[in-house]
Amino acid sequence: MNIFVAKLSYQTTEEKLEQLFQKYGEVANAKIIFDKYEGRSKGYGFVEMPNDDEALEAINSLNDTEFDGRQIVVKKARPKEDNDSRGGRN
C-alpha cells in the first residue's frame, strides 16, 4: 500500500521515514520527494508497505503525530483506479 506522508521536516530523510514505519510493520520502500531545482526536500514523501493491515495501522498511528520535531500527515497515497470503466481519458 502506498502511503502519502506530508508536513515532514526538511531535514527528514527517507531512511528515517522507513525506520519510523518499520516500527509498525514491514516497509518495502520509503521515498522523500526532493525539489528538482533546489535539490532540497519538498517536505513530503511516500512510504510503501507490502502489508495493507500494517500500513493502515501505521497511518492511524503516525498520522497527525510529531516526527523529527514536526507534526506529520500520513494518508493513503493516490488512490489507484479500482474501476477501469471510471474516468477514461481518451
Footprint of DNA (CB under 7 A): 2, 4, 6-10, 14, 31-34, 36, 38-40, 42-44, 46, 48, 70, 73, 75-78
**Residues in a beta bridge with 33:** 44
Least distance from C-beta 64 to DNA, angstroms? 9
Question: What proportions of the chain, in percent to the nearest 5, are helix, strand and coil?
Answer: 20, 30, 45
The dihedral over CA atoms of 18, 20, 21, 25, expressed in degrees to the nearest 10, equals 110
What is the closest distance, in whole angstroms, from the C-beta atom of residue 84 to DNA in the complex? 19
CB of 43 vs DNA, minimal distance in Å: 2
